[in-house]
Amino acid sequence: MRKTIIAGNWKMNKTPSEAAELAAAIAQIQGAKCEVVICPPFVDLFYAKKAIEGSCVKLGAQNCHFKESGAFTGEISADMLIEAGCEYVIIGHSERRQYFAETDETVNLRTKAALAKGLKVIVCVGETREERENGITENVIDRQIRLGLKDLSKEEMANVVIAYEPVWAIGTGLTATNEQAEEVCKFIRGLIAKLFDADVAEETTIQYGGSMNAGNCAALLAMPNIDGGLIGGAALKPADFATIIAAGSAN
Ligand code: 13P
């Protein structure tokens, strides 16, 4: 049975002291029957880690470089994240693709490097509004998945989570309908079956992300191919995040 994973992507929000406070509030959430992950900014990781100690909440980061160390100003390595207490890392978020020249090739390099060090990787894919309107959503997802997961082994796939995040739904208040989200998540599972095998596809957690909130989470998470959420804005509000965790625990 694949895991349901509810992950909060805090993006560029919260100073270390604010992060400690938010992480402590999330650590208080009771009754989670799914995996709960928080992904604060790098400088917050130590403080967040301390705040979630003793709870079931896991720590993740929002990016990781593919080299072990060296002259890569502004980047961070897998070893650094692991020592800071991370178990997960988000790779290839659309904001990194849009604003920081992330490509399918660098997503693949980062993913492989993080997996080699033992991190679990949340690989993000998703089409823009223009791509959806032009009817090429599946072509875009197909390319992102094929190139992003290139040369990964079936064993490595056990530590890969896919997050389907339609770019047009991120931070816009526009959510994909349950059917639109399910359709693409199902397509992704079919593609994983083709690229790896049916067992890998069956075991891979596929999250939806894009304006998931306390009001719409239950219906999205009830869809058969949606195994969790990658949550931005609502992950910064403990009460809303708790509602989403409860919905994730019900499936
Ligand atoms: P919002 O939930 O704020 O739309 O962000 C989604 C997202 O990008 C999570 O990675």
Residue of 5, 6, 9, 162 best suited for mutating to test ligand 1, as the one with most atoms within 8 Å of CB: 9
* Statement: residue 21 has pLDDT above 80: yes
Tell me how far the alpha carbon of residue 232 lies from the centroid of ligand 1, in angstroms. 4
The predicted-structure confidence for 77-90, as pLDDT tens digits, reads as follows 999 999 999 999 99
Tell me how far the alpha carbon of residue 49 lies from the centroid of ligand 1, in angstroms. 22
Tell me how far the alpha carbon of residue 70 lies from the centroid of ligand 1, in angstroms. 31
Residue 17 CA to residue 165 CA, distance in Å, equals 29
Q: Whose CA is nearest to atom 2 of ligand 1?
A: 232
Confirm or reject: Cβ of 204 under 6 Å from ligand 1. no
Residue of 165, 221, 244 best suited for mutating to test ligand 1, as the one with most atoms within 8 Å of CB: 165
Positive or negative, the CA dihedral 239, 240, 243, 244 is negative
Confirm or reject: Cβ of 209 under 6 Å from ligand 1. yes
Q: What are phi and psi of 49, to 5 degrees?
A: -60, -45
Q: What angle do CA 146, 147, 150 make, to 5 degrees?
A: 80
How high is the pLDDT of residue 67?
98
Task: State the closest ligand 1 atom to the C-alpha of 124, by its place in the atom list counted from 1.
Answer: 10
Residue 112 CA to residue 151 CA, distance in Å, equals 9
Element (H, E) at 96: helix 94-99
Other Cβ atoms closer than 10 A to 30: 8
Confirm or reject: Cβ of 231 under 6 Å from ligand 1. yes
Residue 118 in tokens: 């033992």
DSSP state of 177: P
* Statement: residue 164 has pLDDT above 90: yes
Write the burial class of residue 54 (CB in 10 Å: 0-12 exposed, 13-18 middle, 19+ buried). exposed
Confirm or reject: Cβ of 240 under 6 Å from ligand 1. no
Contact partners, residue 100, CB within 8 Å, separation at least 6: none
* Statement: residue 242 has pLDDT above 90: yes
Higher pLDDT, 173 or 109: 109
Q: What is the CATH number of the domain that holds 214?
A: 3.20.20.70
Confirm or reject: Cβ of 63 under 6 Å from ligand 1. no
Task: State the closest ligand 1 atom to the C-alpha of 235, by its place in the atom list counted from 1.
Answer: 2
Other Cβ atoms closer than 10 A to 29: 19
Confirm or reject: Cβ of 57 under 6 Å from ligand 1. no
Residue 17 CA to residue 29 CA, distance in Å, equals 19
Beta bridge partners, 162, equal: 123, 206
* Statement: residue 251 has pLDDT above 80: no
Share of the chain above pLDDT 90, in %: 97
Tell me how far the alpha carbon of residue 167 lies from the centroid of ligand 1, in angstroms. 9
Give the pTM: 0.98
Give the range of the structural domain holding residue 150, as residue numbers without chain letter. 5-249
The predicted-structure confidence for 174-228, as pLDDT tens digits, reads as follows 888 999 999 999 999 999 999 999 999 999 999 999 999 999 999 999 999 999 9
Give yes or no for a contact between 30 and 58, defined as CB atoms under 8 angstroms apart: no
- List active site positions: 93, 165
Confirm or reject: Cβ of 98 under 6 Å from ligand 1. no
Residue 140 CA to residue 157 CA, distance in Å, equals 21
- Confidence class for position 172, pLDDT limits 50, 70, 90: confident
Task: Tell me the three state secondary structure of residue 222.
Answer: coil
Confirm or reject: Cβ of 93 under 6 Å from ligand 1. yes
Tally the domains of the chain. Answer: 1
Give yes or no for a contact between 220 and 178, defined as CB atoms under 8 angstroms apart: yes
